[in-house]
Amino acid sequence: MTMATTDVDIAVIGGGIGGLTLALALRQRGLEAEVFEQADALREVGAAVAIAANGSRILQRLGLGDQLAAAAVVPTALQYRHWRSGTVVADHPVGDAYARRFGAPFWGIHRASLQRTLSEAWDVERLHLGRCLAGVSDRADGVLLTFRDGRTVNARTVIGADGVHSQVRRHIDASVPVYSGTSGFRGMVPTDALPSLPSPSAVQFWMGPGGHVLHYAVGESVNFLAVLDGPERWPHQAGHVDAGQGELNAAFADWHPVVRELLGAVPQSPRWGLFTLPSPLHWSRGRSVLLGDAAHAMLPHHGQGANLTIEDAAVLARCIADAGPEGYESAFGRYERLRRPRARAVQRASWDTSEALHLPDGPTADIRDERLRTLDGWLGWIHGHDPESHPASVPPLADAHP
């Protein structure tokens, strides 16, 4: 039996942070979208997410500030520590001081809580679950979307917010994710299981030779990401592999006891390969355009994946609304011109920061530590950005990374 093709004006592929933020931003400008998500339920993916001021200011403007603030933890500080001694190399207050400096709060929040808030603000009737995209083809009057369940949609405009393995991106660009040569272990530990942890409410980086550990509070727990150099090659295009028993603890055996306590408090996770996605030559093709990780997946060392996606959503919604129903070419061109330089700058900064955090002790690490003590120089251009007031923001070369 042949299913009828459904006609829609705007189809958003992906019901994650980017897709739902875009849908809400479009609605705020008087436009309605249909969101198609491959999962049959909006489950938690990843333990937590850090929403910096460049993301939280946009979510506040969408009317979600109170709900997200109630579910989030505001860190007390951003600290960088020596891997073995635990000495605080740099210490920057967050909380109210951060909000005053950058014009919006910093939130540590469960990814599931953020996604739930976004989905509840959206219409359940316009969120189509269990719709895994199988094919994209151009038509004279739109884009034909074919889903694995056999249903088809003809959309006047398509936004691919479907992540690093985007099916929409395959329609636009043939490039694939690039392995960074680093990998990570993730975990969520109850705070009361960490009696030795100093400043448990602070965002903390422990920096050392060949690795680093990031952790921050989320609710009554501490979320961590432990990153190591290697392996030299990754066995899969992306995703994770099972690690040998005790591999994580062995890699950090010489680190400060607090680090060992944190990493040993929960069972070892799989080992995640850390990938980046080169920005394609073009972010759009015909009536289809990319958003977030589908356009510019980056390493997590600035915590900016979700934030840049939220920025994209705000700018793209404005460009589409300003251009009108048939102005997709001008809308997509303007969107790409506004977003590409910033996305590439943050991608590069995240890559370079990975190397900087893994330096052995010595003169180069001392220079890095001195730069880390100046927050505005290398961090301000990211967190202080407001894409609705200043659409493009890239740093002077010297300020891109520590």
* Buried residues in 274-300 as b, exposed as e (16+ CB within 10 A): bbbbebbeebbbbbbbbbbbbbbbbbb
Closest of 114, 111, 151, 113 to residue 129, by C-alpha: 151
Residue 37's contacts (CB-CB under 8 Å, 6 or more residues apart) are 14, 15, 16, 19, 127, 128, 129, 130, 131
Report the C-alpha gap between 102 and 100 in whole angstroms. Answer: 6
Q: Which member of 80, 98, 179, 216 is catalytic?
A: 216
Tell me, yes or no, if 80 is annotated catalytic.
no
Residue 216's contacts (CB-CB under 8 Å, 6 or more residues apart) are 48, 50, 73, 75, 108, 202, 203, 204, 222, 223
Q: Decide: 173 and 281 in contact? Cβ < 8 Å.
A: yes
Residue 120's contacts (CB-CB under 8 Å, 6 or more residues apart) are none
Active site residues: 216
